[in-house]
Chain A
Amino acid sequence: MQIWLNYTDQILVFAMLAVSLNLLLGYAGQVSVAHAAFAAIGGYTMGARVENHHWSFLPAVALGILLALIAGIIVALPALKLSVEYLILLTLAVSSVIIGVFVASKSLGGTYGLIEISGNKIFGFHLDRPGDWVIPLAVSLIVVYLICWRIGESPYGRVLKGLREDPLATQALGKNVFAYKVSVFAITSAMAGFAGAMYSGWYHLATPGLYGFNFSLTIFAIVIFGGMANLTGSVLASIIIVLLDPFLKRVLKLNADKSFVVQLIIYGAALTLLMRLRPQGVFPEGFSLWKRLRHGRQREARIEMNAEDWVPDTHVSIREGDHEPTHSEQGERESRWQNAPVVLQARGISKSFGGIVAAENLDIDLRKGTITALVGPNGAGKTTVFNLLTGFIRPDHGSVVLNGKELVGRTPDAVARMGLVRSFQDVRLIQRISCLTNVMLAVQQQPGEHLVPLFTPGPITSKGEDVTRDKAMGWLRFVGMADFADVPAGALSYGQSKLLSLARVLATEADVLLLDEPASGIDTKWVDTMLDLIEAVREQGRTVCIVEHNLHVVGRLADHTYFMELGRITAQGTIDELTGSERLAEAYFGT
């Protein structure tokens, strides 16, 4: 009986570690191999306080959590701008340093570690035998699980998924991805420290061998098996992995040494096989047994999404035919443009990369309720302008003022929150989440995106989420994609993803929208619908700027056009004015 209690305790600890790592790895996409090292901080701290300084258990655990939290923040800071490969290397190095420090510290037992962590009590209740630990560990697991679940399945978790898939696009929607990165590292490290403190308490040991690299890999393997962003999967996988030992020993009658080795062979082989066959893990993301039971298969009803004759189901009035404005209509639009108030004013924007001038002294006005276009031959620097305006690249000189406030020097997410949002030429949707979730990510000022409201009792976050969902559905309906709400964005055709991308920028409710080639690559059958949608956006009083190569699209949409060549604006006006100029024809088509 004793031995099954031991296994139960072990499962509970492993599950705590796996669930917390899953929040970091599965939801936020941060590939860290240092999780066990943070657990070690918890375990050693608790052990040192109890064994060397005779603290009682709970305060020692609390200190362990705190130190692990601080360590998590310290590790996250250099990791902010590093990509996956570097993060793996950094967490590997940090892990080695932490364990190395423990090994080298005489007061922490050196290579032997702390081996007499005993006499622990919680509220007077002695914790000596494995059976005593079951309830405390189970409670701990439930706490950790609930925290991770609450965070992961909330608007905050949605941002984490954005961070995981495409940090750049998520930043462009106004989310401070760096803050999220640091906070998720801090939280998960703290939870690892908690698990470590409990683990060493149960084991009565805190040794380098216990928390070595192998342990990190085992936890990592559990998370992968159970499925990324699937917390229940992590618990189930923990059970399977821990119970592999008794299975091998009792059923297959292997001795202890052999069993240990065979277990690892099985994990390793299973990991490799799993990656080979199913890189997402055993359970797909978002799969929930509960949801499945309640709704059956109806949510997976096949929609004829990729039918040849699909058109967006939008209520925006569609103008028949390829109606290009006449010369006088163009003139009207131009004067309307001139009379509209300036919303965004860029002056003297310049940028050079090494010796190459990407932008020189650009003056651009974007006016309320109008569509301005940027055209020019290849290499003229049009997308660079978007990058400069939105803060993705910092200009060398110049200023960009939006509604009276200076944008230059601000981070891209700050710029987005202030009301200037852009779409990307390569779309950049979050493939693995649904269309609705993609659009919900774009909604601003969601209370659930911050930790404090998430854990404050009351309906603030759920009400906020309902509002967000309604808004997002509204925008999906606007672009005619309401039927696709639950479809993963990765399943869309290119044209459909462009529509979704439009819905996404609209959902930010930003004053100024920069659309990078909104109509390119769209099936000629409904490209007019896309153009009508953009015009409808203008009618709503928003300010739009587009970059386009297709001059017919520009002709249809633009009230005013800037012509760029080699980083400079050399002409502006109506399309007829521009195309009528011989000099421009020369610049565009060559001599």
Chain B
Amino acid sequence: MAPDTATDAAPRTATDRETVLSIEHLNGGYGRKQVVFDCSMHVGRGEIVGVLGHNGSGKSTTIKTIHGVIPALGGKITYQGQDTTRNGTRVNVRNGMALIPSERFVFQDLSVLDNLLLGGANEPDTGKRATRLELVYELFPILRERAGQPAGTMSGGQQRMVSLGLALMSSPKLLMLDEPSLGLAPSVVQQIFSTVRHLADTEGLAVLLLEQNVGQALKIVDRVYVMRSGRVLLEETVEQMRARDSYWDLF
């Protein structure tokens, strides 16, 4: 059911959408190590925003700060109109934020089904949860086939699907993905990315996509931020980004 090519719909401008997430002058880091400096971004409903940058540019730290995994060192985070700067992860998850880390993104020893059920743990209504599970199975049929298999024994791409399924089980409004294409074959990446695009288009899911793989990312994003050394270097639309002949200066 998931389409296998990126949509080529007319680009929607930022003003069409309500802002789901907005960060202003965000500072983030770990203890004495400040990694993110004065970072401002926003994501609208149904929008896929790419955050590009080399390793160590501050991308992961930014989304972890948004998600409440690390406390913000300064600045403001506004999610769905509320100030969530001081919020912890649990509250954020309950309000519809989901984050998929770049490494160790599944519970390896647990079965695929257990992984998915964990994602849906916040949903008290078992009926709704069952519906959600069905949806995930339809997006990624292989998960239905391998429901009893320990997630750690599946291939890299399949594990990514598990992680995405896990995140989707909580019916998120904001999805933050940290380098989902790492270590995956291009065809698999394409499949996963187009699923994400599909969800943004049909469910209005707002997505922050962190990537080093510029080529694949540009196929599905609407806008792009480039980060370097902890700061936002520039913001461009996907067309402007595609128009560049070389990306080396950005990295």
List chain A positions with a Cβ less than 8 A from chain B.
Answer: 306, 377-379, 492-494, 517, 520-521, 524, 527, 549-551, 579, 585-586, 588-591
Contact = CB atoms under 8 A, between A and B. Distances in A.
A550 B216 contact: no
Interface string B237-251: 000000000111001
Interface stretch (B17-25, B77-85, B91-99, B176-184): B176-184
Contacts of B181: 590
A527 B230 CA distance: 13
A112 to B, nearest CB: 50
Contacts of A551: 54, 248, 251
Contacts of B55: 378, 520, 549
Contacts of B186: 590-591
In the complex, the 7 A-B pairs of residues with the closest C-beta atoms, listed nearest first: A590-B215, A590-B213, A494-B33, A589-B214, A549-B55, A549-B54, A579-B248
Interface of B: 32-35, 54-57, 179, 181-183, 186, 189, 212-217, 228-229, 246-248, 251
B212 A378 contact: yes
A47 B57 CA distance: 67
B248 A585 contact: yes
Contacts of A590: 181, 186, 189, 212-217
A517 B34 CA distance: 16
Interface SS of chain B: loop
B94 to A, nearest CB: 32
B76 to A, nearest CB: 21
B185 to A, nearest CB: 11
A589 B215 contact: yes
B30 to A, nearest CB: 9
Contact of B213 (A492, A527, A589): A589
Given A589-B212, A590-B215, A493 B32 contact: yes
Nearest to B53: A549
A424 to B, nearest CB: 14
A384 to B, nearest CB: 14
A492 B33 CA distance: 10
A325 to B, nearest CB: 15
A588 B246 CA distance: 12
B212 A550 contact: no
A521 B35 contact: yes
B214 A521 contact: no
Contacts of B54: 549-551
A493 B35 CA distance: 12
Nearest to A492: B32
A582 to B, nearest CB: 10
Nearest to A582: B246
Contacts of B35: 521
A374 to B, nearest CB: 13
A240 to B, nearest CB: 35
Contacts of B217: 590
A379 B183 contact: yes
B59 to A, nearest CB: 11
A377 B183 CA distance: 10
A501 B251 CA distance: 25
B49 to A, nearest CB: 18
A564 B249 CA distance: 19
